[in-house]
Chains A and B, each alone.
Chain A
Amino acid sequence: MSRTIFIYAESREGKLRQVAKETLGAAQLIAKEGDTICAFVAGSQITEAISAILPYGADHVVTMEHADLVHYNPDAYFAAIKAALDQMKPDIVLFGHTAIGRDLAPQVAAYLQAGQISDVTAIDHEEGETIFTRPLYAGKAFEKRVFESTPAVVTIRPNNIKPAELSENAAPSSVVDIAYPAPSLRTVIKDVVSKATGKVDLTEAKVVISGGRGVKSEDGFKPLEELADLLGGAVGASRGACDAGYCDYSLQIGQTGKVVTPEIYIACGISGAIQHLAGMSQSKVIIAINKDPEAPIFKVADYGIVGDLFEVVPLLTEEFRKVLV
């Protein structure tokens, strides 16, 4: 029987996020012949995001535009997606495991009385069954999970699943706008202080430069930021650095922080506690810069430099600048 796969194509400030293409890629991995993929774009001023998703091979694109959707409000967004779900009646609903997806997916799962598999890093098929791989204990173990019932809700971890590819002759067969149901909102957004605007999102970054207690101060993050800017990456931190007040907790990587899987992870002045390793050990290439040759971080690093980060990081920035021009 053919199924409808529904993806939430996340946008931010009117722009389609990379994770939206990965979510669509995940839907294409799940889809069997005859299945229909429907992408949902919601927000305020989303014309650009809509045109951005069109060439990627969704069968239908459903859109919803309203001023209430300018920032993520759980009440508004749930009402919005509910209207779209009621119309499309999907068998599978997919989200990115982002701040929005983590909040919206469980609401949708509760509404649909569905199972949900969160933070999926790989999707495979075995004997006709779709198998979802996800981390446990922040990556200290992995499990494979299957659904026992439909509908099904899935969130996928950014940076892990191959994004949908541009396909010239695959324009969606329909683009339909659905009216925002205008619910009365219980939750009111009073203010949004954007600290991350314009920066590369940590969980999506291809390069992460992290600082630990070794950076010694808020200012100590400056050389790391310079390197991150040059490489188009993001800055992260250990809990040691956060606890010391050198940076915001939102930068924390680890078992009780964010889990990142970039291509390059550079740990600067981080000892390599087990809770920190849990959040970054799945990175493709790990580089450690630490004064202490005995630091445990060297046990997981692909490349290590024993030295003072305040000397090594600026040199590294210079060297990258040389080869990247």
Chain B
Amino acid sequence: MKMVVLMKQTFDTEEKIVVKQGNIVEDGVKFVINPYDEYAVEEAVKLRDEFGGSVTLVSLGPSRAAEALRTALAMGADEAVLISDDRIPDDEYAVSKVLYTYLSKENPDLILGGNFSVDRGSGQVAIRLANMLSIPHTASITKLTINGTTAEVHRDAEGDLEILTLPLPALFTAQQGLNEPRYPSLPGIMKAKKKPFKTYTLEDLDLTEDEVKPATKQTELTLPPERSAGQILIGEPAEAVSELVSLLRTKSKVI
């Protein structure tokens, strides 16, 4: 089975966001594999170990994203592709077009990605790709079983559980609960260094800057107003509770 995992490098979820001159500061920030993509990597590696085949990681991003790809190779993926080009804008229309150009020549049986990326959080790229590639998809899966050329999946839909079947090739996005991602082992890290790693630019994909013009543009970036600590209600629990309810009525006016 030929599998492709769409992967993105994101800020560690512990990081505080700092904005300077309209940009998010990246100096000194720890980067990780997007947590949802980690489930996708784990699932692909497990399936490869069960059914054979290969796992190719594909990431679009700055050159630092190579670290995340190395980590995922150390988790057991077979090869990595980094599409890196400053001319590709931060816009899902453009990003999915670039990824489509690469993937349309690959014909994988299975494409796995994360439910959304914890930085931009727009959750568009994978589903756009499924549509562009004309393959079926299920987003937000918590279980995946392959039976020959069909997949059975569990999907988390606002708390309800849906059980679906669909034919391969197909695309899935991983939700928490799908599996427990492994830590890269030391031998895994050593092996990862020798695995194939390709880097592509727009030219390598036969795309021009004009073809990846963004459809949307950021005009402003701000931090939310800081929340200041409020009032601790002291005293016996019963007193504190009655004071709270009264404050909710009189001061906050929410009930």
Contacts and interface: CB of A to CB of B under 8 A. Distances in A.
A249 to B, nearest CB: 5
B86 interface: no
Given A149-B215, A192-B162, A282-B224, A323 B131 contact: no
B28 interface: no
Interface string A137-171: 11111111111110010000000000000000000
B158 interface: yes
A170 B120 CA distance: 38
Interface in A114-149: 114-119, 131, 134-149
Interface in A86-103: 98-99, 102-103
A71 B162 contact: yes
Given A141-B222, A302-B231, A187 B122 contact: no
Interface string A32-75: 00000000000000000000000000000000000000011111
What range describes how many residues of B lie at the interface? 35 or more
A316 B118 contact: no
A167 B164 CA distance: 41
A256 B233 CA distance: 31
A298 B215 CA distance: 42
B105 interface: no
Nearest to B246: A323
Contacts of A139: 224
Nearest to A302: B230
A115 B214 contact: yes
Interface stretch (A21-29, A217-225, A306-314): A306-314
What range describes how many residues of A lie at the interface? 35 or more
A304 B93 CA distance: 44
B118 A255 contact: yes
A123 to B, nearest CB: 13
Contact of B165 (A135, A137, A190, A255): A190
B244 A287 contact: yes
A135 B16 CA distance: 14
B163 A190 contact: yes
Given A145-B218, A149-B215, A312-B237, A187 B11 contact: no
For the residues of A in contact with B, the DSSP-based class is mixed
Nearest to B178: A249
Contacts of A116: 92-93, 122, 124, 215-216
Nearest to A107: B131
Interface stretch (B42-50, B56-64, B138-146, B184-192): B138-146
A312 B241 contact: yes
Interface stretch (B76-84, B199-207, B247-255): B247-255
A141 B17 contact: yes
B164 A187 contact: yes
Given A256-B176, A284-B254, A110 B128 contact: yes
Interface string A262-286: 0110000000001100100110111
Interface in B104-121: 118-121
A320 B127 CA distance: 44
Contacts of A115: 91-93, 214-216
A275 B139 contact: no
B237 A118 contact: no
Given A117-B216, A148-B213, A256-B176, A301 B163 contact: no
B7 to A, nearest CB: 16
Contacts of A299: 227, 229
Interface string A288-300: 0000010000111
A203 to B, nearest CB: 8
A134 B126 CA distance: 20
Contacts of B241: 305, 312, 315-316, 319
B118 A145 contact: no
B218 A143 contact: yes
B163 A307 contact: no
18 contacts: A99-B140, A116-B93, A118-B121, A118-B123, A142-B222, A144-B220, A145-B219, A192-B160, A196-B158, A201-B159, A249-B156, A257-B176, A301-B230, A304-B230, A305-B232, A316-B245, A319-B241, A319-B245
Interface of A: 71-75, 78, 98-99, 102-103, 105-107, 109-111, 113-119, 131, 134-149, 152, 186-197, 199, 201-203, 242, 248-252, 255-257, 263-264, 274-275, 278, 281-282, 284-287, 293, 298-308, 311-312, 315-316, 319-320, 323-324
Interface of B: 11, 13-14, 16-17, 19, 24, 35-36, 91-93, 96, 118-132, 136-140, 142, 152, 156-167, 175-177, 213-224, 227, 229-234, 237-238, 240-242, 244-245, 247-249, 252, 254-255
